[in-house]
Amino acid sequence: MVRPILTFENPVLREKAKKVARVDASIQRLLDDLTETMLEAPGAGLAANQIGVALRVCVVKGDDKQIWGLVNPEIVKKDGAQVGYEGCLSYPGWVGEVERAETVVIKGRNRHGKEIRVKSSGFTARAFQHELDHLDGVLFTDKLTSLDTLRRVEELVGEEREEAVAAASG
Ligand code: ZN
């Protein structure tokens, strides 16, 4: 089911989401709702608190269109750095420059409760880091390289705009 996406003023976006004790049918439904909502938006990822559920659950759409649904995700390894524009479905219409690790390895449980590790880089790694921040109540606007880089998407032109529109939005 597509759920409404909450915007940055909502206090649930500043909460540290709670760990999931057991991956049951309600968590599988939550993963389905997150996936449908992300695809409809459209976005590159979505965290459960963005739809008002303060649990450590998120989805990310990889470069190859594969969709990762993760429960209790955590970063176990990060390498390198990338600087680029990033947006957020809870901050519609705005982008800003954020530095992220270039490569991350995420450990979490899948929809069957099985522990998995996902290695990603570039755009997908940026989306994972953005979603994991959401689960800690952190928004991309907390991490801008400079406040001057916070821009309205429609103010940007040409290549800059293309980059911004393609930016991780989740
Ligand atoms: Zn976001």
**What residue type is 8 in one-letter code?**
F
| 22 alpha carbon – ligand 1 mean position (Å) | 25
User: What is the rounded CA–CA span in Å between residue 104 and residue 107?
Assistant: 10
Q: What is the CA 68 to chain-centroid distance, rounded?
A: 11
In a domain, 148, yes or no: no
| 96 alpha carbon – ligand 1 mean position (Å) | 12
Q: Is 9 a catalytic residue?
A: no
- State the residue range of the domain holding 117: 11-79+100-141
Q: What is the CA 29 to chain-centroid distance, rounded?
A: 18
Here the CATH number for the domain that contains residue 37 is: 3.90.45.10
User: What is the rounded CA–CA span in Å between residue 15 and residue 19?
Assistant: 12
At 169, the pLDDT band (50, 70, 90 cuts) reads confident
pLDDT tens digits along 38-63: 999 989 999 999 999 999 999 999 88
| 43 alpha carbon – ligand 1 mean position (Å) | 9
Point out the catalytic residue in the list 86, 102, 131, 160: 131
Split into its structural domains, the chain has a count of 1
